[in-house]
Amino acid sequence: MKHYSVLKQEAIEGLKLRKNSIIVDATLGYGGHSSEILKQIPEGHLYAFDKDSEAIMYAKERLEKVGSSFTILHQDYKTMKSALLDLGVSKVDGILFDLGVSSPQLDDEHRGFSFMRDEVLDMRMNQEQSLDAKVVIHTYSKEQLADLFFRYGEEKQSKKIAAYIVQAREKKSIETTKELVDIIQNAVGANYFYKTHPERNIFQAIRIEVNQELTNLEKALPDALSLLNVGGRICVITFHSLEDRIVKNVFKQVSEVDEMVKGLPVIPKAYLPKYRIVNHKPIVPSAQEMKENSRSRSAKLRIIERIHDDEKE
């Protein structure tokens, strides 16, 4: 199975692993990052989440070859805090999020993520959920689709594309990615289509909606921050600006001194930020990595560290 782990070295170094670290991989995928983490924490434990059962099957075998001190949870990472508490874990030393879809998910024809091939419209990371791309395309109103394409795809022609989809689905159900791409091209005309590739934006928007990618991230980040021990770190690898903006804003918010006390000569301990941003500019892949894996081009890694405990409040 061909799978590149993006920014692998940089993310692993960012986690500052120790032999006995307790680490969470929120997005196990095919276990590229996790197997390296497991190697470096022989006296610790790895908790790994993924909602894709195919990925879990593959990653489990891969991890078993490295060690036994790991627990895989077939759950959405947004449930991280309660799922770990159920296992008796209330604090951890590091959490990794490597967001988005994996290369095997994109490359596998029956998953329906790709606009480059003709596949059944699907795009679910979790094959057990009922909301898929076909449901979105057929049950959302014209206004809902336009809003989705604009917000999650940042597509200028969102209204026109939504109108064409609604027109097309009234005549015949839209079954495949190729049919959807053709409708998008008809809506915007060949010139705009080949110049700006709106299908990328539309597929991104549908994928985000089907998998609730942004809402899950917004829910999970505060929980992840609260799980960190002092000295513990969160590394997040994002692949588009909407995700990156969420991470950047949350990290900024929790690492800044409260406006109320900013001007004071000595800031009371209770008001000191509990976190510190490790890298103000996101880490991006090297030219070599981008050459080897073109999908890494948009990747950005942000790291935050816990510097104070709750008790100091």
Ligand X SMILES: C[S@@+](CC[C@H](N)C(=O)[O-])C[C@H]1O[C@@H](n2cnc3c(N)ncnc32)[C@H](O)[C@@H]1O
Min separation Cβ 244 and ligand X, Å: 15
| CA separation, residue 274 to residues 261, 302, 307 (Å) | 15, 17, 5
Of the listed pieces 50-58, 149-157, 180-188, 280-288, which binds ligand X according to CB under 6 A? 50-58
Chain positions 212 to 231 lying near ligand X, rule: CB under 6 A, are 216
Least Å distance, CB 168 to ligand X, is 30
What is the identity of the amino acid at 130?
A: S
Q: Which residue has the tokens 């405990």?
A: 309
Return the number of the residue (84 or 125) whose C-beta is nearest ligand X.
125
Question: Residue type at 28?
Answer: L
Query: Of these, 17, 38, 44, 50, which contacts ligand X (CB under 6 A)?
Result: 50
Q: Does 102 bind ligand X (CB under 6 A)?
A: yes
- Phi, psi dihedrals of residue 37, rounded to the nearest 5°: -60, -50
Instruction: Indicate which single residue of 44, 47, 76, 206 sits in contact with ligand X (rule: CB under 6 A).
Output: 76
Per-residue binding letters, 53-72, with ligand X (x by CB under 6 A):
--x-----------------
Nearest to 34 by CA among 19, 20, 47, 44: 47
**Residue ranges of E strands in 65-224:** 70-73, 92-98
Query: Is 207 one of the binding residues for ligand X (CB under 6 A)?
Result: no
Is the torsion defined by CA of 123, 131, 189, 169 positive or negative? positive
C-beta of 20: minimal distance to ligand X in Å? Answer: 22
Name which of residues 113 to 142 contact ligand X (CB under 6 A): 125
Q: Judge contact between 187 and 162, C-beta under 8 A.
A: no
Residues 14-43 close enough to bind ligand X by CB under 6 A: 27, 29-33
Q: How far is the CB of 119 from ligand X (least distance, A)?
A: 17
Nearer to ligand X, 50 or 209 (CB): 50
What are the DSSP E strand ranges found in the chain? 22-25, 45-49, 70-73, 92-98, 228-238, 275-277, 300-306
List residues binding ligand X (CB under 6 A).
3, 5, 27, 29-33, 49-52, 55, 76-78, 98, 100, 102, 125, 216
